[in-house]
Amino acid sequence: MTSTRTAAALARPAHRAPRRPLQWTALAFLAPLLVYLLLFYAYPLYRNIELSLHDYTPRAFIQGDPEFTGLENYRAILTDGAFLRALGNTALFTLGSIAVQYALGLALAVFFHRRFRLSAVLRALFLVPWLLPLIVSASTWSWMLASDNGVVNAALRAFGIGQINWLTSPDTSLLAVTVANIWLGVPFNLVILYAGLQNIPAELYEAAGLDGANAWQRFLRITFPLLRPVSAITLLLGLIYTLKVVDIIWIMTRGGPADASTTLAIWSYREAFGTGQPDFSPAAAVGNLLILIAFAAGLVHVRLRKETP
């Protein structure tokens, strides 16, 4: 017995010894994170899947005896008339937001890429919207877009445009929350794209200048192609972030009027917490669909990155 143990002890270090002690140390340093991920990500996620597969009434929620319904919640959601509406709103809100804030962020990054007097200070000021608490920005936008005495309508009136009920008309509420979200997203795009620009060697621009390329050609032939990896990650992060947005929309319109600005995330939030009657099971199912969408986007991103050299 003793001999086999010694033999094993002797045999193992022969090919693993150099890494072994470090492996345990590495694990010790990683342990808090692993426990954390398990307790505060994996378990809530598991609970959420469990919620979506049962019929949790508020009573069953407290007593813990819900009926198992399989994929019934998912079927109910996918066939609900509100689903297509929410999916369409999510697509408009998300794609509209990231396209415009990326374009604005890129234009500003190119503009600030040249050094000029006050450029650093001005660039820092652009970060402000992004650092403010969302409740602050969202309530400010609500007040600016108010129908009777909002400053936006007052300005439009100067151009002879009549009152627009930005937040209370089903035609404009989605546009209104998208505009506010774009305003919030520009700083993030600006910062990342600006950093990407700084990694492009200046010699390329000099060479292009010698060859007689104008500013637009330089942008099209050098800046934009070389920025592709940075652009891809910016758009992916923007997409993942925007899919999840609840606060801005909830504070400004609560998804209304009549679901006009209800996205999947808002739908989920409203079912679970937005009414006096929490309905966790369908809410969890909608939430899980959202994760799948974000995950699919992530996979597409990884795929595209592998294909581009």
Partner 1 sequence: MRGWRTAVGVVLAGVMLFPVYWMVNVSLTRTGDLRADPPHWFPWNPTFEGYAAALGQQLPALATSLFIGLGTVALTLAVSLPAGFALARLRPRGGRAVDFLLLVAQMIPAVVMAMGFYAIYIRLGLLNTVPGLIVADSTLAVPFGVLLFRAFMAGIPGELMAAAQLDGASTWRTFRSIVLPLSRNSVITVSLFTFLWAWSDFIFASTLNRNSDVIPITLGIFRYIGNNTTQWNSIMATAVIASVPAAFLLVLAQRYIAAGVTAGAVKD
Q: Which is nearer to partner 1, 125 or 215 (CB)?
A: 125
Taking Cα atoms as reference points, which of 285, 261, 260 lies closest to residue 272?
Answer: 285
Nearer to partner 1 (CB atom), residue 212 or residue 242? 242
Of the residues 53, 167, 174, 192, which one makes contact with partner 1 according to CB under 8 A: 192
Which residues, 259 to 278, sit near partner 1 by CB under 8 A?
265, 268-269, 272-273
Tell me if 201 contacts partner 1 by CB under 8 A: no
CA distance 110 to 188: 14
Q: What is the x/- site pattern for partner 1, positions 51-70, by CB under 8 A?
A: x---------xx--------
| Calpha distance 72→78 (Å, rounded) | 10
* Longest CA span, the chain: 96
How many CA atoms within 13 Å lie on the side-chain side of 297?
A: 20
Rg over CA atoms, the chain: 26
Q: Is residue 183 at the binding interface for partner 1, with CB under 8 A as the rule?
A: yes
Per-residue string for binding with partner 1, 140-169, x by CB under 8 A?
xx-xx---xxxx--x--x------------
3-state secondary structure of 67: strand
Pick 133 or 212: Cβ nearer partner 1: 133
User: What is the SS3 assignment for 68?
Assistant: strand
Is residue 175 a contact point for partner 1 (CB under 8 A)?
no
Reference 101, options 175, 177, 167, 179; nearest CA is 179
> With respect to partner 1, which residue has the nearer C-beta, 70 or 133?
133
Nearer to partner 1, 95 or 302 (CB): 302
Q: Which one of 5, 117, 303, 306 is in contact with partner 1 (CB under 8 A)? A: 117
Enumerate residues 6+ apart whose C-beta is below 8 A from 286: 77, 86, 264, 267, 268, 271
Among 111, 200, 218, 221, binds partner 1 (CB under 8 A): 111
Among 81, 133, 160, 309, which residue interacts with partner 1 (rule: CB under 8 A)? 133
Binders of partner 1 among residues 78 to 97 (CB under 8 A) are: none
Q: Which of 60, 76, 134, 235 binds partner 1 (CB under 8 A)?
A: 134
DSSP-based three-state secondary structure for 47:
helix
